[in-house]
Amino acid sequence: MSVFIDNEFHSYFQRNPIKLVDIGASGGLQKNWRKAKKFLNILAFEPDEREYERLIRKASPNISYHNIALNNNETVLDFHLTKKQEVSSSYYPNTDFLSKFPDVERFDVLETIKLNTDTLDNRIKKEAIDNVDFIKLDAQGNTLSILEGASNTLKGVFGLEVEVEFTSIYKKQPLFSDVDVFARKHGFQLFDIKKYFWKRELGKKCGMSKGQIIFADALYLKDSHVFIKGLETCPDNLLMKSKILNAISISILYGYIDYAAEIFELRKDCFTRKEIELFSLFLKKNIPLSEYIPKFKGRNRFAGIFRMLHKFIKQDAWAECDEYLGNL
């Protein structure tokens, strides 16, 4: 399945590719976004110089890396470099809580450095980038402060994938409820969360694998009517059409073909008759296999048995997570 619907639409994506802002770019481009790399421009931020140096050695032409820390204002912050690079943060690890779980040593602070911070709104302006479509944010407790510094950018953004915590991994950090309130105020709806669970050291080999929910990757997409209304400020019809197609492609990327159809329907008048027919054909080609399997008494129970077997045979570990984010 192509996230770009049909070759007929490719000229729009060539002129206005999907613009992704990747904040906390450690590890490079996420696996699910590789399906969109044909028409994708990426602005990436990684504050940890150790990882930044590794990333720029492998950078591709469509991605721009910046060794900058983002925040809700321009200031100087303490940044705590930890034994495991991926958990470094401007918030200090909450060792009283973390010590209840295995591998707490990865949060050991090796060094605290000073970092100059900037806002995403400022960086977008300095890089002369407009019409950002999606923000992926993995910032170890700093999600809310970074979003607060992106209020202007968020007006045109269709989707967010953000790391949120349900308990304080770091001292005095904001939690999921704080991020959720902010996102909803800016017109975003929660579509899914990919939950991560930890089991305590004392009983890590007892019972089933799932422990306490600690954090999650949360997927937010802009309310369709809010999104379409925001396009009224587009300077021309071509840009409006491209923004709609980018939103549709992002919805498809995360498996929400129904939402892609809803967005298309709201501004179907922007498209030619041929384009409407091609999109309708795309929808027909993506009817799930389950729709073709006959309905029979006990079908749901039969499916439940397979799900239960999967839970029993998969490898046990103290840290578990949901398999996917999105309707995949």
pLDDT, block means (10 residues), the chain with 328 residues: 91 96 92 92 93 90 93 95 94 97 96 95 92 96 97 97 98 98 98 96 82 96 97 90 97 97 96 96 78 63 61 62 86
Residue 79 inside a domain? The answer is no
Predicted local confidence at residue 59, as pLDDT:
85
According to the model, what pLDDT value does residue 234 have?
87
What's the CATH code of the domain at 236? 3.40.50.150
Asked whether the beta carbons of 88 and 140 are under 8 A apart, the reply is yes
Is residue 90 domain-resident?
A: no
Q: Is residue 103 part of a domain?
A: no
The answer to the question of residue 125 being in a domain is yes
Quote the pLDDT of residue 50. 87
pLDDT of residue 303: 61
Please report the pLDDT score of residue 299 as a whole number.
63
Domains in the chain, number:
1
**One-letter amino acid for residue 246 of the chain:** N
Asked if residue 159 is part of any domain, the answer here is yes
In a domain, 174, yes or no: yes
pTM attached to this predicted model: 0.91
- The verdict on residue 35 lying in a domain is yes
Specify whether the CB–CB gap between 199 and 211 falls below 8 A: yes
- Domain of residue 222: give its range: 7-70+119-321
